[in-house]
Chains A and B, each alone.
Chain A
Amino acid sequence: MLAELINPYYLQVLSFILINIILGVSIYITLSTGQLSLGHAGFMGIGAYASAILTLDYHMPLVVGIVVGAILAGIVGLCIGIPTLRLQGVYLAIATLGFGEVIRVLFINLEGLTKGAVGISSIPHIGRELVKGLQDFGFKASMIGLKNNQLISLSVFLLLLIITLLIIAFFIRQTNSRVGRAFAAIKMDERAAEAMGVNITYYKVLAFAQGAMVAGFAGALFAHVTAYISPADFSYHRAVEILIFAIFGGSEVIWGPIFGAAFLTAMPEILREVNEYRYMIYGVLLVVMMAFRPQGLIDTQMIYKLKQRRKKKGVS
């Protein structure tokens, strides 16, 4: 019964949705201080390549690779974030766009390390490693009536689900904390926030580095779920794709990019014909959203109304 329900293909789609949700959260953090970054594909690439190279060439455990990848992306984010602080709005967007492309060109040209445009293949797969670990404990797929590849996909999905939920929980907590309020104040009005005693330098760099780190983390996971990465995975298209999660879903509340990532990743899978026109639809979506609903589908007002309704139901 359970065995028939678990289709590795659906689980893989769900895993990609989860990775994209993490990416959506990463752009949300940066956007929540009013900074538009087009370099998240670059940060994602740094995390992915760092983790892939560490696990393949230096035979590090997966956990080390992923954590180092995320931290490295965070450090690079810090290095980019501090000098670009003096840039605002469109200038920051362009600088980060330039950064992303420099990273991509580096991936292509540092052939000794990254294998150039061909990309790195046969990266250790999270699911296989997990199942191998389980087998060492004497746990086998057949014990719960599953085939081996079903267990692999299932374990990937469950692991990603736990990680994603932890990340979302962490950032919901942060949004309601002093840090989150500082972010919101900076987004509303930087000067007013500064006058109120918010250390805008600190919080802006914090948001940027956090975004970079989460993106790098998602990139590292991506590398170990697909087992193959190439510079084309981290191009301008990817940066726009990450951005559109937040633009479409909404960048005011964390549920916006989560919804955006889930919906936009699932849509081409459900409607096969859509896949071919995916980027054209993305383009139209960006224009339409900006013209009619620049804050995204889910905004604070909608969340507020939902909460009110729930309260009313509770009373009656």
Chain B
Amino acid sequence: MILEQLINGITLGSIYAIVALGYTLVFGVLDILNMAHGEIFMFGAFMGVLVTNTLKLPLIVAFLVAIGVTAILGFLLETLALRPLRGKKGVSHLAPLISTIGVSIFLENLAHHFFGAGNHPFRTSFSEMSFQIGTVTVYAVQIVIFVIAVLLMVGLSFWLSKTKAGKALRACAESLEAASILGVNTKKMITTTVIIASVMGGIAGVLVGMAFNSVSPQMGLSMGLKGLAIIILGGMGNVKGAMAGGLILGLAETLVVVFGESGYRDAIAFALIIIILLVRPQGLFGKASEARR
């Protein structure tokens, strides 16, 4: 029983980690909290529903469509909502936050309009498939989710640490100005970052649809807040912190359900936000000076 819950927690946590990675990438490079990330994630999930349920196409197509659509959304987010504010004089640091809140509320209600308010089921050919290992039941979906999540995280880590583009991105995260002096095309890098972050959100959306078998326009907000909680927990802009934070939150939520307080499950993330910000604003893995701005 407890082992099954642990597996649930790790599955959930790995999805959370991917969502949080999207936040952390954008924050690392732009110092912006992308409040629209949750809604982009939700659009990814809906693309999954649309492709597998309505069009009856295989899951891999769902992933491709979700990636395509969220990449476009990311590009639009950057060009329409973020770029006009950049480098403008007299714009407070709250402006991008408010602007992305605008995008988030727009996207949520757009989805509301297109898909209706209710929950949509998300069925895959292997939804019901499960294995019996000893006394523990493991669902195939969980394994698929976990594998994809780990692949994504390993891929992203490799890309960030080894490739030229990844190094350029990390240079941008250190300092946009210095990076541009050293010949990094920062404008292109920023767009790339936002698109990659959005695509990670989209993939996470499809994964969540698979895991919970239900998708609704409201899921973006709660997942967005959880992503925020995770990056605050793991340290803003910290890639490894986001992964660890995701797993911690996933496990904590499933444990609360085990102890029978399922109504407060969603409150954990928000309570975490407040506590961590008050007690250790730099996050569990952050450096002391980073968060104090």
Chain A residues in 8 Å Cβ range of B229: 98
A36 CA to B221 CA in the complex, in Å? Answer: 19
Mask, A241-259, CB within 8 Å of B = 1, is: 0010001000000000000
Contacts of B81 in A (CB 8 A): 287, 290-291
- Are B102 and A287 in contact, CB atoms less than 8 angstroms apart? yes
Residues of B contacting A109 with CB < 8 Å?
A: 263-264, 267
Asked if A87 and B281 make an inter-chain contact with CB atoms under 8 angstroms apart, the answer reads yes
- Residue in B closest to A247 when the chains form the complex, CB atoms: B98
A95 CB within 8 Å of chain B: yes
Residues of B within 8 A of A88 (CB): 293
Q: Confirm or deny: A10 has a beta carbon within 8 angstroms of a beta carbon on chain B.
A: no
Contacts of A276 in B (CB 8 A): 113
Give the distance in Å from the alpha carbon of A99 to the alpha carbon of B91 in the complex.
27
Contact (Cβ within 8 A) B106 A280: yes
Chain A residues near B195: list those with CB within 8 A.
none
| CB-nearest residue of chain B to A80 | B274
Residues in chain A near residue B94, CB distance under 8 A:
36, 89-90, 93
Chain B residues with CB under 8 A of A86 = 278, 281, 292
With contact pairs A236-B221, A280-B110, A283-B106 given, residues A243 and B101 touching in the complex (Cβ less than 8 Å): yes
In the assembled complex, the Cα of A280 lies from the Cα of B112 at a distance in Å of 10
Residue B291 at the chain A interface, CB threshold 8 Å: yes
Kindly identify, within residues 201 to 225 of chain B, every residue whose CB is under 8 Å from any CB belonging to chain A.
221, 225
Asked if residues B264 and A237 are in contact (CB atoms below 8 Å), the reply is no
Q: Is A227 an interface residue (CB 8 A)?
A: no
Asked if B277 CB lies within 8 Å of chain A CBs, one says: yes
A101 interface residue per 8 A CB criterion: yes
A105 touches B (CB below 8 Å): yes
Contact of B270 among A83, A105, A108 (CB under 8 A): A105
A139 in contact (CB, < 8 A): no
Given the complex, which residues of B lie within 8 Å of A94, measured CB to CB?
33, 228, 232, 273, 277
Contact across chains for A99 and B99 when beta carbons are under 8 A apart: no
Q: Are A97 and B225 in contact (CB under 8 A)?
A: yes
CA distance A106 to B103 in the complex (A): 28
Q: How far is the CA of A33 from the CA of B266 in the complex (A)?
A: 31
Measured CB to CB, the nearest residue on chain B to A237 is B105
- Given A101-B270, A102-B270, A280-B113 in contact, is the A93-B97 Cβ separation under 8 Å? yes
Binding site for B on A (CB under 8 A): 34, 36, 83-84, 86-91, 93-95, 97-99, 101-102, 105-106, 108-109, 236-237, 240, 243, 247, 276-277, 279-280, 282-287, 290-292, 294
B residues engaging A (CB < 8 A)? 33, 80-81, 84-85, 90-99, 101-110, 113, 221, 225, 228-229, 232, 263-264, 266-267, 269-274, 277-278, 281, 291-293
**15 A-B pairs, CB-CB below 8 angstroms?**
A84-B278, A91-B277, A95-B277, A97-B225, A97-B228, A98-B228, A99-B270, A105-B263, A236-B221, A240-B101, A243-B101, A283-B106, A287-B106, A291-B81, A294-B91
A277-B113, A283-B102, A287-B103 are known contacts; what are 6 more A-B pairs with Cβ within 8 Å? A94-B277, A98-B270, A108-B263, A286-B102, A287-B99, A294-B91
